[in-house]
């Protein structure tokens, strides 16, 4: 009994503790729910206002902004002034954080809001000087274009001021703890310069090949060139032993994705069902949230144009008006040269040129770092351009350094070209507008409702007196200076060809008779080959055929290589697993379908083939600079099949032994990930698309907010028309960032896909509503002239 009596107070205490704990948990739960409700309310209020009336200073007349069922804003204004003010306002409503991040990245100012993690990135962009180039370009624009940039900036700032005053800035600014600065015309031009950077120019390949010539046996190094380097011995002899440490110099460089490219084509009325031209365009760029593109329709007196633009820039860069349509792919010319510069050891501001010492320009670029002290930094600019090989050390002791000559660092007038393209009514007017589009060089295709189809590789492409863009050249020798640029009237052009169509896919666009050098690097030809194959084989083409072709998954890379690779493999003794794999590949129809096993096996094998060969001799930091690796390996495989075996196969026991070993390795890795039954393997289990928000990787909670949809299985690959390039984890992060087709018989209606959606706010219905459409190829139509009754209508009211 005494034991029972002693336990009673203990039970009472435990009960009280339980009640207190439950009450505490209840209070915490209430506070948590209350906090989530408050946070939800805070986030909700930053959603753009899309209906009703908003007063806007600066407008002369009211502007109507109607958003259709895909969130595409249709702006109707009575003057260009009002139109561009409204365009800036509406873009900022949907994409202000993206716009601010874009200008910061291009200007080298990310560390101010992110911290130490981005210091090296900022150093790289401060060195390149995209913003300095934008500032110089601004001074070259005519007054009327400067005025449009000012109007656009006025609209962006009007939205920012309202959002700051009412506490409605996008939540990303709150998470990073800062508010955006005033928008300026130079900000817009800087974003344009960044796109020229993103579409590349091959400097990294020159650096890699220079490293290869210094660190690998000559024959092995030559195998890594895109073509036989006839000038290499002479250039290397001129440069001498520079002592440059390429690996250390460029370890933290920002290299654009190699697969930045695109598809486009136009078909004449002779091959279409209704006798009018068709046009298709799908630029291949990085995929993320929000999309790199913002779709809009702009309407004012003498202007009615629809399409896409980079957030932060006025006008429409790709799309159509009531008479013409156009699209682009990247030409990829050699517009960058590295120069080895001899620095004066006594005075590091002097560099040798033509037996004289010339003084470089030294620019101080201190880098502000969130939570830390400013980092002193300087940029040295020679006659050729910024010195890009000394970011890490900032040392004055280097006897030689590398500077960069690049067309995008010159003054250029791309926005002028865009605004004139928007108003062009025929090919002659459109081509005239292209005279101001200098960088990046693009393959423009054109179609109009008068029946014309046309093509032009347009931009400033240097003419070299000596050197061919394969290796860095001696900066002190005048004979390596650029002699000018390919004349505008001599750039590659085609109008109404007899074939009835024109297509480009970053492939070689000239033949050996063309008198000027354009590039040493062209994309693998398989996308172009498939487009041409499809268009050649069919007549009576329709808009639906264009959509089908954009989503085509036929892999002509596999169609070329598998027959002879499997033939060469079969002469060896194969394991049971290898025999099963061979049978699987032989029965494949070469379509990169997400539900099939063969694409997974083929791409895994090819990735292993293109990487393992170099692992022992090329450091990871240099692999990042190894431009065109897959194409170079392809050529090695072709030659080896013909009996011309590269020395790179020797350490593996020869070409056929290398095939055998890499297939075994690929099979082992696939079995570990997907099981031993090949019948259960699926390309889509590995190959999945994911539109990542730049803030979402910071924590699981932010990932839940900004990227609620898991990666989705998708077909296609790097070499199919349905472009879907992927990282080492199989995540598709690069591909058709915007898909567009139009039938010029009805210039009122264009068909689009903008993955993942139009909006930048994660609570908007248009934030990620086009992801499934991107995967399945489901287009939405956008109209130039139709009344949109029942849609969301916002009136920006003149005060």
**pLDDT at 228 > cutoff 80:** no
Indicate whether 654 belongs to any domain: yes
Contacts of 147 (CB under 8 A, 6+ apart): 81
Indicate whether 776 belongs to any domain: no
Indicate whether 624 belongs to any domain: yes
**pLDDT at 649 > cutoff 80:** yes
Average pLDDT over residues 74-90: 98
Q: Which two tokens stand for residue 302?
A: 């003498």
DSSP of 313-340, one letter per residue?
--S-SEEE-SSEEEEEEE-----EEEEE
**pLDDT at 184 > cutoff 90:** yes
119-165 pLDDT tens trace: 999 999 999 999 999 999 999 999 999 999 999 999 999 999 999 99
Q: What is the pLDDT of residue 230?
A: 74
**pLDDT at 602 > cutoff 60:** yes
**pLDDT at 618 > cutoff 70:** yes
Alpha-carbon distance 457 to 434, whole Å?
10
**pLDDT at 644 > cutoff 70:** yes
**pLDDT at 394 > cutoff 70:** no
Q: What is the pLDDT of residue 21?
A: 52
Q: What is the pLDDT of residue 33?
A: 43
Indicate whether 674 belongs to any domain: yes
The answer to whether residues 51 and 792 touch, using CB atoms and an 8 Å cutoff, is yes
Alpha-carbon distance 84 to 185, whole Å?
12
The answer to whether residues 651 and 613 touch, using CB atoms and an 8 Å cutoff, is no
Residue owning tokens 């379908």: 593
Calculate the dihedral angle through the C-alpha atoms of 774, 776, 780, 781, rounding to the nearest 10 degrees.
110
**Domain ranges, residue 571:** 556-590+597-681
Indicate whether 782 belongs to any domain: no
CB atoms inside a 10 Å sphere around CB 55: 12
- Could you give the number of structural domains in the chain? 2
The answer to whether residues 306 and 320 touch, using CB atoms and an 8 Å cutoff, is yes
Percent above pLDDT 90 for the chain: 85
**pLDDT at 516 > cutoff 80:** yes
Average pLDDT over residues 69-90: 97
427-479 pLDDT tens trace: 999 999 999 999 999 999 999 999 999 999 999 999 999 988 999 999 999 99
Question: Which residues carry out catalysis?
Answer: 262
Q: Where among 663, 681, 699 does a domain terminate?
A: 681
Percent above pLDDT 70 for the chain: 93
Calculate the dihedral angle through the C-alpha atoms of 549, 554, 557, 562, rounding to the nearest 10 degrees.
-170
- Given pLDDT bands bounded at 50, 70 and 90, which one contains residue 10? low
Q: Where among 631, 649, 681 does a domain terminate?
A: 681
Indicate whether 55 belongs to any domain: no
11-43 pLDDT tens trace: 555 555 555 555 555 544 444 444 444 455 567
Averaged confidence pLDDT in the chain: 92
Ranges 351-355, 395-399, 497-501, 686-690: which has the least confidence? 395-399
Q: Which residues of 365-395 are buried (b: 16+ CB within 10 A; e: fewer)?
A: bebebbeeeeeebebbbbbbbbbbbbbeeee
Residue owning tokens 């078909």: 267
Residue numbers in the known binding site for Ca(2+) are 334, 337
Burial of 10 (0-12, 13-18, 19+ CB in 10 A): exposed
Indicate whether 533 belongs to any domain: no
Round the CA-based radius of gyration of the chain to a whole number and report it.
29
**pLDDT at 239 > cutoff 90:** no
Q: What is the pLDDT of residue 36?
A: 43
Q: Which two tokens stand for residue 304?
A: 């009615």
Residue numbers in the known binding site are 334, 337
Contacts of 30 (CB under 8 A, 6+ apart): none
Q: Could you tell me which residues are beta bridge partners of residue 740? A: 281, 752
Indicate whether 570 belongs to any domain: yes
Average pLDDT over residues 287-299: 97
- Given pLDDT bands bounded at 50, 70 and 90, which one contains residue 672? very high
Q: What is the pLDDT of residue 697?
A: 86
Q: What is the pLDDT of residue 1?
A: 40
- Given pLDDT bands bounded at 50, 70 and 90, which one contains residue 5? very low
Q: Which residues of 591-608 are buried (b: 16+ CB within 10 A; e: fewer)?
A: bbbbebbbbbbbbbbbbb
Dihedrals phi, psi of 699, to nearest 5 degrees:
-165, 160
Q: Which two tokens stand for residue 498?
A: 């007899």
Q: What is the pLDDT of residue 43?
A: 79
Q: Where among 659, 681, 703 does a domain terminate?
A: 681
């Amino acid at each position: 009994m005494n034991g029972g009596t002693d336990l009673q107070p203990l039970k009472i205490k435990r009960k009280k503790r339980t009640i207190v704990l439950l009450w505490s948990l209840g209070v915490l739960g209430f506070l948590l729910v209350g906090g989530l409700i408050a946070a939800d309310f805070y986030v909700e209020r930053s959603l753009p206002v899309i209906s009703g009336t908003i007063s806007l200073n600066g407008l002369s007349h009211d502007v109507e902004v109607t958003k259709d069922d895909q969130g595409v804003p249709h702006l109707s204004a009575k003057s260009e002034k009002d139109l561009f003010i409204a365009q800036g306002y509406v873009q900022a409503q949907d994409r202000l954080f993206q716009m601010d991040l874009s200008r910061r990245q291009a200007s080298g100012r990310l560390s101010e809001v992110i911290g130490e993690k981005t210091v090296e990135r900022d150093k790289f962009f401060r060195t390149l000087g995209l913003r300095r180039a934008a500032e110089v370009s601004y001074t070259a624009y005519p007054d009327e274009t400067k005025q449009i940039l000012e109007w656009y900036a006025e609209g962006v700032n009007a939205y920012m001021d309202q959002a700051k005053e009412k506490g409605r800035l996008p939540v990303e600014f709150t998470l990073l703890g800062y508010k955006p600065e005033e928008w300026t015309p130079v900000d817009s031009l800087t974003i344009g310069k960044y796109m020229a950077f993103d579409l590349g120019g091959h400097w990294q390949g020159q650096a890699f090949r220079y490293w290869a010539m210094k660190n690998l046996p000559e024959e092995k190094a030559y195998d890594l060139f895109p073509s036989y380097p006839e000038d290499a011995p002479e250039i290397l002899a001129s440069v001498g032993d520079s002592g440059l440490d390429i690996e250390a110099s460029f370890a933290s460089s920002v290299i654009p994705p190699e697969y930045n490219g695109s598809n486009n084509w136009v078909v004449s009325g002779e091959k279409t069902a209704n006798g009018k031209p068709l046009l298709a365009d799908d630029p291949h760029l990085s995929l993320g949230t929000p999309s790199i593109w913002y779709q809009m329709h702009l309407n004012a007196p003498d202007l009615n144009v629809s399409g896409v633009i980079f957030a932060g820039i006025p006008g429409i860069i790709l799309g159509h008006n009531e008479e013409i349509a156009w699209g682009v792919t990247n030409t990829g010319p050699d517009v960058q040269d590295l120069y080895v510069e001899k620095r004066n050891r006594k005075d590091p501001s002097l560099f040798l040129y033509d037996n004289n010492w010339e003084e470089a320009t030294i620019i101080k670029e201190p880098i502000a770092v969130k939570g830390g002290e400013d980092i002193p930094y300087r940029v040295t600019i020679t006659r050729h351009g910024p010195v890009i090989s000394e970011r890490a050390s900032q040392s004055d002791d280097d006897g030689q350094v590398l500077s960069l000559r690049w067309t995008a660092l010159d003054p250029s007038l791309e926005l002028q070209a865009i605004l004139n393209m928007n108003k062009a009514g025929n090919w002659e007017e459109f081509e005239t507008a292209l005279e101001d589009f200098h960088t990046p060089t693009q393959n423009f295709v054109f179609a109009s409702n008068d029946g014309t189809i046309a093509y032009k590789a347009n931009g400033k492409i240097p003419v070299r007196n000596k050197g061919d863009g394969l290796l860095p050249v001696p900066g002190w020798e005048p004979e390596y200076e650029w002699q000018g640029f390919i004349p505008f009237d001599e750039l590659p052009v085609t109008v109404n060809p007899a074939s009835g169509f024109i297509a480009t896919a970053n492939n070689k666009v000239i033949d050996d008779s063309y008198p000027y050098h354009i590039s040493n690097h062209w994309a693998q030809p398989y996308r172009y080959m498939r487009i041409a194959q499809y268009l050649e084989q069919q007549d009576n083409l329709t808009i639906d055929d264009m959509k089908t072709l954009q989503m085509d998954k036929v892999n002509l890379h596999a169609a070329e290589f598998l027959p002879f690779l499997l033939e060469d493999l079969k002469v060896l003794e194969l394991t049971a697993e290898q025999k099963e794999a061979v049978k699987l590949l032989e029965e494949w129809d070469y379509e990169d379908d997400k539900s099939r096993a063969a694409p997974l096996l083929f791409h895994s094998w090819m990735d292993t083939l293109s990487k393992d060969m170099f692992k022992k001799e090329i450091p990871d930091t240099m692999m990042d600079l190894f431009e065109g690796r897959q194409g170079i390996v392809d050529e090695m495989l072709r030659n080896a099949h013909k009996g011309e075996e590269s020395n790179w196969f020797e350490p593996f026991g020869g070409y056929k032994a290398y095939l055998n070993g890499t297939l075994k390795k690929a099979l082992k890795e696939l079995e570990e990930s997907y099981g031993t039954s090949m019948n259960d393997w699926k390309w889509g289990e590995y190959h999945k698309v994911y539109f990542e928000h730049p803030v979402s990787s910071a924590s699981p909670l932010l990932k839940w907010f900004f990227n609620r949809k898991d990666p989705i299985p998708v077909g296609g690959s790097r070499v199919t028309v349905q472009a879907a390039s992927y990282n080492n984890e199989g995540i598709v992060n690069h591909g058709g960032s915007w898909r567009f087709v139009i039938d010029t018989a009805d210039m009122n209606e264009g068909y689009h896909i903008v993955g993942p959606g139009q909006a930048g706010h994660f609570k908007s219905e248009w934030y990620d509503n086009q992801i499934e459409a991107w995967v399945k190829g489901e287009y939405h139509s956008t109209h130039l002239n139709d009344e949109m009754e029942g849609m969301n209508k916002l009136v920006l009211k003149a005060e």
